[in-house]
Amino acid sequence: TTASTFWLGTSWKMTKTLAEAGDYADELRTAALAGQVPPELRLFVLPPVTALATVRDRLDGAQLDRARLLLGAQNAYPGPEGPVTGEVSMGMVRDAGARMVELGHAERRTLLGETDELIAAKVAAAVSAGLIPLVCVGETAAERDRGDTASVVAGQVRAALGGLGRLAPAELLIAYEPHWAIGAQGRAAAPDDVADGLAVVRQVLAEELPDSTTGVLYGGSVDAGNAADLASGLDVDGLFVGRAAWTAAGLLDLAHRC
Ligand code: PEP
């Protein structure tokens, strides 16, 4: 990549006890204090909501300011605090240490039936709460096979921004994550496929949010074997990683490959 800052982040998804989360944070803190986090990287870590405050507290003093290491949530609900059983609000995750919130991940769209409409409401609520939205978009294998990748991805980006109205996000991240490239059944997309998806996202952003600071990331089976090629060979502002960064050593290894 030619960008002066490069995003590298991980979602822990539905993994980690508090003890495991604390150990990860301690390792990251030690590495940061030892100067082992490359200065051009902006790292982010999205623990499960149960561990957010623990990770925040354990990273305290790591001398990574908020711009260089952001904590985030993997989801939050777009409404004021109140009677919504089982959910947490944007303000609550912010209070627990989140500066960013992931929205629209493939697993939430498919396993939990999240719609474009709900995701749009979440994006607007995140911006109102002062959180950086990290919106995931991407086509399914069937949509790809039908040749619908560009229209599906463009539609998801447009829909996600559709609730903003006059709200201008200070910063917004979009991760292009083809559903078929994610998780244990996935295989990383080939650079040409990634490039096409990223270009669609950039095009819609240029049309819809020309004045905002946006970053376009790739995610889906990123690992130590492909990170360097993806980071250097594409017009991409960062990589979003699941499994390969579920240990601090994994994240730090990737940090040196980007
Ligand atoms: C993801 O689900 O966002 C992801 C990138 O997962 P993985 O790296 O494990 O494919």
Q: Which fold has domain 6-257?
A: TIM Barrel (3.20.20)
Separation between Cα atoms, residue 250 and residue 246, nearest integer Å: 7
Q: What does each C-alpha distance from 125 to 52, 99, 103, 129, 236 come to in angstroms? A: 19, 13, 11, 6, 26
SS3 58: helix
ipTM > 0.95, yes or no = yes
List the domain boundaries for the chain: 6-257
Q: How far is the centre of ligand 1, averaged over its atoms, from the C-alpha of 242 (Å)?
A: 4
Ligand 1 centre to CA of 244 (Å) is: 8
Q: What confidence tens digit (pLDDT) does each residue in 34-85 have?
A: 889 998 999 999 999 999 999 999 998 666 665 688 999 999 999 999 999 9
Give pTM, 2 decimals.
0.96
Cα of 44 to ligand 1 centre, how many Å?
14
Pocket test for ligand 1, best of 7, 111, 177 (most atoms within 8 A of CB): 177
Report whether residue 178 contacts ligand 1, using a CB cutoff of 6 Å. Answer: no
Residue 98: closest CA among 135, 170, 20, 46? 46
Ligand 1 contacts CB of residue 133 (under 6 A): no
Average pLDDT for 240-252? 98
222 lines ligand 1 (CB under 6 A): yes
User: What are the tens digits of pLDDT across the range 135-178?
Assistant: 999 999 999 999 999 999 999 999 999 999 989 899 999 999 99
Out of 110, 221, 223, mutate this one to test ligand 1's pocket (max ligand atoms within 8 Å of CB): namely 221
Is 177 touching ligand 1 by the criterion CB < 6 Å?
yes
Does residue 2 register a pLDDT over 50?
Answer: no
